[in-house]
Chains A and B, each alone.
Chain A
Amino acid sequence: MIQILLRPLVKSVGIVWMAATLGFLALSVLPGDAIASQLSQSGADPELIEAYRDRSGLNAPLSERYVRFFVGLVRGDMGVSLLSGEPVSDAIVRSRLPTATLALSAMLFGSAVGLLLGMADGLDVPLFAVPSSVLISLALSVPIYWSGTLAIYVFTAQLGLLPSAGAGRLSQLVLPVLVLGFHMAGGIARVMRISVREILDADYVRTARAKGLHERRVLLVHVLRVALLPVISVIALQAGFLFSGAVITESLFVRPGIGRLLLDAVIQQDYPIVMGVIVFSASVYAALSLLSDFVLRLLDPRVAL
């Protein structure tokens, strides 16, 4: 049993380590940094800027910084923000909640809606199939910043029903979840639809029908169970999409989450924070992959990974 668990775990750790290394190397080639920027604006002269940077350890050779970073990472210390001095782990912890709330709610909402739409379209349910198909197409094609702006325009500017900014109250969660969830639903619905259609044509379904099994039983027992398999792995991979969606959604709806933290840090060249977010998102991605692999294996032992 332990062997079965160990391999994927090692794989996950490997992913995080490699992502962090790639990120570290990439950031190290970027010119400038937050400290130099801020000080230049105050009119400090170059020697003084170098002194500040020395103190922050920015001038140490690359290998030294790399080792220092990873040693710290293992101990849970990701350094401090170049600008505010706030520990990076603190920054990530406080930004986690708004993003997590948004992501989980959007994932739940999106999965539920996506499954329903995919089923309705795939099974060709009368009356629902066509609108489902249209909704799925819209969810996949409309750019999220456009639909988000539209949602704000309708619900906040015109109808005054829902707030468009901030986090912490349930009402502030509604619009972002609706928008982000809707787009997630599109991806899930499409896969669900394809899966369902594919299974419906399969031989063993025809066999079951020929045997005279009740239609509903056929559907529920055979079709849906198998159709769900690829959908589950899609839901996991959608985490990647969720993250970039979160960056935009958090910008649009002014939520102080990880996406916004990343965007601001990148623009202000606060690289310790950028590294922290990379490590965090890589970990989440690895964890979700792990989870989906397990669930898949549980549901269908035939699947060899």
Chain B
Amino acid sequence: MLLRNLLPLSLIIALTACLPVLGERASSASDAHRIVYGLTLQPSGFDPHINRSSELGIPLRQVYDTLVYRHPETREIVSGLATEWTISEDGLVYTFRLREGVTFHDGTPFNAGAVAANLDRITAPETGSQLAVFLLGPYAGYQVIDNNTIQILLSEPYAPLLDSLAQVYLGIASPTALSQYSNNRYQFHQVGTGPFEFVEFVPGDRIVLRRNPDYAWGPEFYTPPTEQSIGEIEFRFFTDPPTRTLALESGEAQIMGELLPTDARALTGNSAIQLTPKTIPGQPLQFIMNTNRFPTDSRGVRQAIIFGANRNAIVDAVFQQFSPVAWGPLAASTLYYDPGLAGMYAHDISQAQALLAEAGFSDSDNDGYLDIGGAPLEIRVIVPPWGLIPQVAELLQDQWRTVGIRAVLEPVPTFGALLEVVESGQYNLVAFNTFGLDPVFLNEFFASDGTNNWAGFSNPEIDSLLSDARQQTDPGIRFALYARAQRLIMNEALILPIRDQVNLNASSAAITGLTFDSYGWFPLLNNVTVAG
């Protein structure tokens, strides 16, 4: 009878379902030259010409070469797939002489036609590029001079062009592969010229790369492969922070990015795991202040907000001292950062209180918070959930309480929701940061016509400084322009800078030579060796 057998059957099922497969240790790196690299974000698309996440650059930096590279130490632009280049007097024509003898992983020869095919793809409206096309700035087309020479044309001078061309988003892909696969499918069959070949991409699960044995045209800082070099890399996703250290310790992964600061701190004594913190250039984590809404419409109040914030305490508690305090709109590792800003608006409660009193605030109803003419000194802070911002906000809220400022925290679950609130104008402070080596992103945030001018600030001097700097190719002059812009932004107290972004990478002790490029996020895995 069915039921008579049910009892023992269910017992058997229960037992078999419980049998742990003991002995099968979590070690997929059984081959000594194969490593597992932990990525932290599921990129929503994996095509460097189309998508914009920095996570995709981590594997793809190894698959593609770019026309030029940035030397990771000197930060100079050095030759890559282009051996030399000249810029016309008016800054509108860039002529590149291309390297010869280079082939794509599928055998297609590299030449000017290949570069042209890539530019066509990136700039085609049907491609729907979310970042690469914007990196090209005032792009106006190209001109193929001969098989190994190509010119890129601009409609106005654009200093960051070479910087853009060094980024993986403008990596050069095989024109054969590009024409063979549709825009949606190419991400699963990528072909470049780099030190590693693309093997497969299983969305949500893994990306696998294998060393390219024919690679012989790397930039000057790429070391030739040895016996200990990595043969194969599997990238897996660890979107949940607590799982990252666990994976390292159990051997499931050999390299991992973005450890939690508290976990990284706990690892400092551990000899089996080494920490490689890397500062990321760009905007530091900051709160941008809305100059069009009470009370942040007053400069005195904005300055008091910054004076009242104890940023050292934040860096200690939340970031475990792994990040430096930020003093201005640029992280210290960004090009043209002005170190003279250090110490500006350092924590000073009495200064904050004096400024507020000067602006007319007092605690007339004795509730512990200041007010003026019946209106409470209340600021609305938009808090996105990433990057430990909620913890920073809660700490700030308490710090401001001492000064008499009431902070209302408004969490937003997505970037889209953040934009909604910003568009409505119902905010005083909004937390944000973006990445990049060239400070041209400042235009988006602080020029009056900037697309993300969340401070709502309009100042003709800042406008002219930023637009000049965008076109100016002389680094000395650019520095002067940006230095002045940074100082102006801070004089007006448009932002509360918190800390420079630092990526807390860790690797097992068997890994040596792990370095990152000057953009911060992208490892140079060509040079990494595995012991054993």
A binds B: yes
With a cutoff of 8 Å between Cβ atoms, the chain A residues found around residue B205 in the complex are: 94, 167-168, 256
Q: Is the Cβ of B451 less than 8 Å from the Cβ of A45?
A: yes
With a cutoff of 8 Å between Cβ atoms, the chain A residues found around residue B202 in the complex are: 94
Q: Across the interface, name the chain B residue whose C-beta is closest to A31.
A: B420
A167 to B202, CA, bound (A): 12
A251 to B203, CA, bound (A): 16
Interface class of chain A by DSSP = helix
Cross-chain pair count, CB within 8 angstroms: 169
A211 to B296, CA, bound (A): 88
B189-212 vs A, Cβ < 8 Å mask (1 yes, 0 no): 000000000000011110000000
Q: Across the interface, name the chain A residue whose C-beta is closest to B184.
A: A85
In the assembled complex, B375 has its CB within 8 A of some CB on chain A: no
Q: Is the Cβ of B11 less than 8 Å from the Cβ of A116?
A: yes
A37 to B14, CA, bound (A): 47
Q: Is the Cβ of A32 less than 8 Å from the Cβ of B420?
A: yes
Complex interface residues of chain B between 42 and 60 (CB less than 8 A to chain A): 42-46, 50-52
Contact among A33, A112, A220 with B13 in the assembled complex (CB-CB below 8 Å): A112
With a cutoff of 8 Å between Cβ atoms, the chain A residues found around residue B14 in the complex are: 109, 112-113, 116
Q: Is the Cβ of A256 less than 8 Å from the Cβ of B416?
A: no
B498-510 vs A, Cβ < 8 Å mask (1 yes, 0 no): 0000000000000
Contact among A171, A228, A270 with B26 in the assembled complex (CB-CB below 8 Å): A171
Q: Is the Cβ of B413 less than 8 Å from the Cβ of A164?
A: no
Q: Is the Cβ of A84 less than 8 Å from the Cβ of B51?
A: yes
Number of interface residues of B (CB under 8 A): 61
Q: Is the Cβ of A94 less than 8 Å from the Cβ of B203?
A: yes
Interface-side segment among A130-138, A153-161, A278-286:
A153-161
With a cutoff of 8 Å between Cβ atoms, the chain B residues found around residue A161 in the complex are: 20, 22
In the assembled complex, B322 has its CB within 8 A of some CB on chain A: no
Interface-side segment among B68-76, B244-252, B345-353:
B244-252
Known contacts A116-B14, A171-B21; decide if A43 and B452 are in contact (CB<8 Å): yes
With a cutoff of 8 Å between Cβ atoms, the chain B residues found around residue A144 in the complex are: none
In the assembled complex, B223 has its CB within 8 A of some CB on chain A: no
Q: Is the Cβ of A112 less than 8 Å from the Cβ of B10?
A: yes
Question: What's the nearest-Cβ distance from chain A to residue B31, in Å?
Answer: 16
Q: Is the Cβ of A43 less than 8 Å from the Cβ of B451?
A: yes
Complex interface residues of chain A between 80 and 130 (CB less than 8 A to chain B): 80-81, 83-87, 91, 94-95, 105, 108-109, 111-113, 115-116
A251 to B238, CA, bound (A): 10
Contact among A52, A81, A94, A166 with B236 in the assembled complex (CB-CB below 8 Å): A166
Question: What's the nearest-Cβ distance from chain A to residue B175, in Å?
Answer: 20
Q: Is the Cβ of A85 less than 8 Å from the Cβ of B415?
A: no
A1 to B379, CA, bound (A): 69
Interface-side segment among B127-135, B144-152, B324-332, B524-532:
B127-135
Q: Across the interface, name the chain B residue whose C-beta is closest to A40.
A: B419
In the assembled complex, A181 has its CB within 8 A of some CB on chain B: yes
Contact among B24, B249, B416 with A36 in the assembled complex (CB-CB below 8 Å): B416
Q: Is the Cβ of B21 less than 8 Å from the Cβ of A84?
A: no
Question: What's the nearest-Cβ distance from chain A to residue B53, in Å?
Answer: 9
Complex interface residues of chain A between 171 and 212 (CB less than 8 A to chain B): 171-172, 174, 177-178, 181
A251 to B18, CA, bound (A): 22
Question: What's the nearest-Cβ distance from chain B to residue A111, in Å?
Answer: 7
Known contacts A32-B419, A85-B50, A94-B204; decide if A40 and B452 are in contact (CB<8 Å): yes
In the assembled complex, A254 has its CB within 8 A of some CB on chain B: yes
Q: Is the Cβ of A34 less than 8 Å from the Cβ of B44?
A: yes
Contact among A39, A55, A85, A172 with B45 in the assembled complex (CB-CB below 8 Å): A85
Q: Is the Cβ of A40 less than 8 Å from the Cβ of B203?
A: no
With a cutoff of 8 Å between Cβ atoms, the chain A residues found around residue B246 in the complex are: 152, 156-157, 164-165
Question: What's the nearest-Cβ distance from chain B to residue A131, in Å?
Answer: 15
With a cutoff of 8 Å between Cβ atoms, the chain A residues found around residue B10 in the complex are: 111-112, 115-116
Question: What's the nearest-Cβ distance from chain B to residue A211, in Å?
Answer: 19
Q: Is the Cβ of B236 less than 8 Å from the Cβ of A108?
A: no
A41 to B451, CA, bound (A): 10
In the assembled complex, A225 has its CB within 8 A of some CB on chain B: yes
Contact among A81, A115, A269 with B416 in the assembled complex (CB-CB below 8 Å): A269
A289 to B46, CA, bound (A): 39
Q: Across the interface, name the chain A residue whose C-beta is closest to B205.
A: A256
Q: Across the interface, name the chain B residue whose C-beta is closest to A253.
A: B243
Q: Is the Cβ of A85 less than 8 Å from the Cβ of B183?
A: yes
Known contacts A32-B420, A38-B130, A256-B204; decide if A109 and B18 are in contact (CB<8 Å): yes
A38 to B26, CA, bound (A): 36
A300 to B203, CA, bound (A): 46
Residue among B52, B202, B451 with max Cβ neighbours from chain A (10 Å)? B451
| 10 tightest Cβ-Cβ pairs between the two chains A and B | A32-B416, A83-B44, A84-B45, A256-B204, A163-B26, A112-B14, A85-B184, A109-B17, A43-B444, A112-B10
| A and B contact pairs by CB, cutoff 8 A, 25 listed | A36-B419, A38-B44, A38-B51, A41-B415, A51-B125, A52-B128, A55-B128, A56-B128, A83-B45, A94-B202, A94-B204, A108-B13, A111-B10, A112-B11, A112-B17, A152-B246, A157-B249, A162-B20, A166-B236, A166-B252, A178-B18, A254-B239, A256-B205, A260-B204, A264-B42
On B, residues with C-beta under 8 Å from A are 3-4, 6-7, 10-11, 13-14, 17-18, 20-22, 24, 26, 42-46, 50-52, 125-126, 128, 130-131, 134, 183-184, 187, 202-205, 236-240, 242-243, 246-247, 249-250, 252, 413-417, 419-420, 434, 441, 444, 450-452
On A, residues with C-beta under 8 Å from B are 31-34, 36-46, 51-52, 55-56, 80-81, 83-87, 91, 94-95, 105, 108-109, 111-113, 115-116, 149, 152, 156-157, 160-172, 174, 177-178, 181, 220-221, 224-225, 228, 251-252, 254, 256, 260-261, 264, 267-270
